[in-house]
Copies of this chain bind each other. A is one copy, B any other.
Amino acid sequence: MSRKEFRDLASPERAHEVVDSLDLDPGTETVPLDDARGRVLAERVDAAQDVPGFDRASVDGYAVRAEDTFGADEADPARLELVGRVDAGERPEASVGSGECIEISTGAVVPEGADAVVMVERTDTDGEDVLVRTSLAPGDRIMFAGADIAAGERALGPGTELTAREIGLLSALGVDGVPVRGTPTVGIVSTGDELVRPGEPLDSAAGEIHDVNSYTIAAGVEEAGGDPRLYPHAGDDMAEMERVLREAADDCDLVLSSGSTSASAVDVIYRVIEERGDLLLHGVAVKPGKPMLVGTLGGSAYVGLPGYPVSALTIFRTFVAPAIRRAAGLPEPRTATVEGKMAVEERYAEGRHRFMPAGLVEDGDGDTLVYPVDKGSGATTSLVEADGVVEVPADTEYLERGETVAVQLFSPDVRAPELFGVGEDDPALSRLLDEIRRPRYLGLGSRQGLRRLRDGVPDVAVTCAPGDPGVDAERLGAWTREWGLVVPAGNPEDVSGLADLVDRELRFVNRTTDSGLRTSLGNAVADLADERGVERHALVDAIDGFERAVRAHESPARRVRDGTADAGLGLRATADALDMGFVPVGEEAVRVLANPDRVGKPGVERLRELLEDDGAVDSLPGYSKE
């Protein structure tokens, strides 16, 4: 088969139909009771025996013949002869004759001859006799055999999910081997030449990256009630990859792969589908997810997922997870979708059905706001910065701010973060966040922090920008941090300050323009230019690497440590953490500003407390609280 040309992409509805037509049925199996939780009954379970299996005393007291107590009351008790005693788990040794009684414990077998039990509280003893101070009717305080559930009665129906309580009923019925729906086995075949298992070393210069999708999708398969099997990565050996695909198809109910950037891997997939099955669908008119493949591989089903992690998880969750759940007999989780209001307007240029990655944040009233997350192609951090996707039909031009939308969560138990912040990347802040349950923080720099705070999305912004922040905000706290040049341990080049970068042949690494440190460096360079009476750009041009900008607070220092630079822009705290040398240049102030509507949120209150009381900020080298 040459690659089929599909002129039209399938509609999302058609893709659902095709995936739903696949046979993932794992059959049934019998599991021991203590492994049955979370499984689904394959067939009806009727009681095979009466529960309880005998007439059982419901209280501690005396087993009697009810007719012996007729007319008895407090003043005029019935006097019965005590002829024995029976405890729970004992066979009664005596029977109860007329005028007799037997002492009995809760749960014990009611002896032959007795037809009622009197509570000990309604009796007295008098020598060998028992005085019963109440009248009893036959059956009083007895749970008859089969009264709980009788042999032949319907106990649990097919399709019942087994939670603690159903396990309890099965125990009562004495069922040990439980007939349950099998767990669909899902083979996950890693197809990218560049993929390396987490834990194994990476050769970045050769373009290797860790395999993200296999592990993400495996976890998604488990969440959907399937049994994931990771098939070892085939590298660039196409014959080996073909063998692995065939093996997975033989062993599993469903085989998944996620989009490879390698054309040869795609060709292998086509070849195996051609030989062993049918290609049922190629391409779906959704964004992301256009490259989805659906087919069969012999007796197994096959779905090819897109390559980017958020796309792969979205397509998996939308089309594949429901099919796995159905095969396992599990219902859709109740909490898989939440509603919220759009925090910002979002416009769409392209008329394609889309799954917009979205984050959740609670406003000051506890209502859920939804904002789009778009970190661009292939960012794995989007996996944790988005909470789910909003399905947007192809004819939607925009979602209005305040419009109610439904977010399909990536996992049923996803919840809005307790604190959502945007701004400077800072090690002290990181420590404070450790003390907050479920924070979300995007280290996008001061400008983005303030811009987003102005848009009303995050709870707080963390900014180095001095002066008026240009947004109505409440200051939760602030600190200063010492910055300068991070150099190798021992400062082998004997760097003494900023002037050395200008005057000597030193390779420098800067931060990107969104960072507060970059602004502080720019100001220091301007001061030096003033001092020397030259133009600022002359100094900038003289610094080898002023435009060599990296994104995060440790990144320049790490370049220096790797030997690719002699000095990097950074904090004293960073130099200290990485056991490197440090040449101080200045101090800058960092402020934490809150949206005034959100100051009552527990996460924001907690951050304020931490800023006031916690030693985390002051204990870092070069830091002091304002």
Contacts and interface: CB of A to CB of B under 8 A. Distances in A.
A148 interface: yes
Interface string A257-296: 0000110000000000000000000000000000000000
A165 B333 contact: no
A172 B212 contact: yes
A485 interface: no
A212 B89 contact: no
A156 B51 CA distance: 51
A405 interface: no
Given A194-B107, A380-B148, A439 B261 contact: no
A244 B41 CA distance: 33
A170 interface: yes
Interface in A23-73: 33-34, 37, 44, 46, 49-54, 56, 58, 60
Contact of A152 (B167, B208, B433, B554): B554
Interface stretch (A213-221, A474-482, A592-600): A213-221
A151 interface: yes
B199 A168 contact: no
Contacts of A50: 204, 555, 558
A150 B150 CA distance: 65
A384 B90 contact: no
Contact of A574 (B152, B202, B433): B152
A544 interface: no
A437 B158 CA distance: 8
A140 interface: no
A9 B9 CA distance: 69
Given A54-B204, A173-B210, A216-B167, A381 B148 contact: yes
A335 B168 CA distance: 21
A37 B225 CA distance: 13
A380 B207 contact: no
Contacts of A215: 33-34, 167-168, 170-171
Interface in A210-238: 210-220, 222-223, 230, 236
B53 A219 contact: no
A334 B197 CA distance: 34
Interface in A145-188: 145-177
A620 interface: no
B90 A207 contact: yes
B219 A163 contact: yes
A146 B313 contact: no
A34 B163 CA distance: 25
B206 A91 contact: yes
With a 10 A CB-CB cut-off, give which of A90, A174, A198, A331 has the most chain B CB atoms: A198
Nearest to A263: B105
Interface residues of A, number: 133
A211 B262 contact: no
Interface in A442-477: 443
Contact of A165 (B58, B87, B205, B384): B384
A246 interface: no
Given A163-B411, A380-B148, A261 B212 contact: no
A146 to B, nearest CB: 5
Nearest to A230: B34
A383 B168 CA distance: 7
A553 B149 CA distance: 11
A352 interface: no
B144 A413 contact: no
A485 B375 CA distance: 76
A106 interface: yes
A107 B168 contact: no
A414 interface: yes
A370 to B, nearest CB: 17
A163 B89 contact: no
A443 to B, nearest CB: 6
Interface in A119-158: 143-158
Contact of A555 (B152, B173, B198, B199): B152
B52 A313 contact: no
Given A164-B313, A174-B199, A410-B164, A149 B380 contact: yes
A192 B175 CA distance: 19
A606 to B, nearest CB: 13
Given A148-B380, A206-B90, A199 B172 contact: no
Contacts of A51: 209-210, 380-381
A434 interface: yes
Given A154-B430, A169-B380, A53 B443 contact: no
With a 10 A CB-CB cut-off, give which of A56, A176, A219, A430 has the most chain B CB atoms: A219
A94 interface: no
A220 B219 CA distance: 23
A177 B165 contact: no
B210 A164 contact: no
Given A91-B207, A173-B198, 16 more contacts: A33-B215, A37-B219, A49-B202, A89-B208, A105-B262, A108-B194, A144-B550, A148-B381, A151-B555, A154-B430, A160-B438, A163-B410, A169-B380, A171-B212, A174-B210, A175-B199
7 contacts: A50-B555, A54-B205, A154-B430, A158-B434, A160-B438, A163-B411, A168-B215
Interface of A: 33-34, 37, 44, 46, 49-54, 56, 58, 60, 86-91, 105-109, 143-177, 192-200, 202-220, 222-223, 230, 236, 261-262, 309, 313, 331, 333-335, 375-381, 383-384, 410-411, 413-415, 425, 430, 433-434, 436-439, 441, 443, 550-555, 557-558, 574
9 A-B pairs closest in CB distance: A152-B554, A176-B199, A53-B204, A89-B194, A150-B552, A168-B216, A89-B193, A172-B380, A164-B219
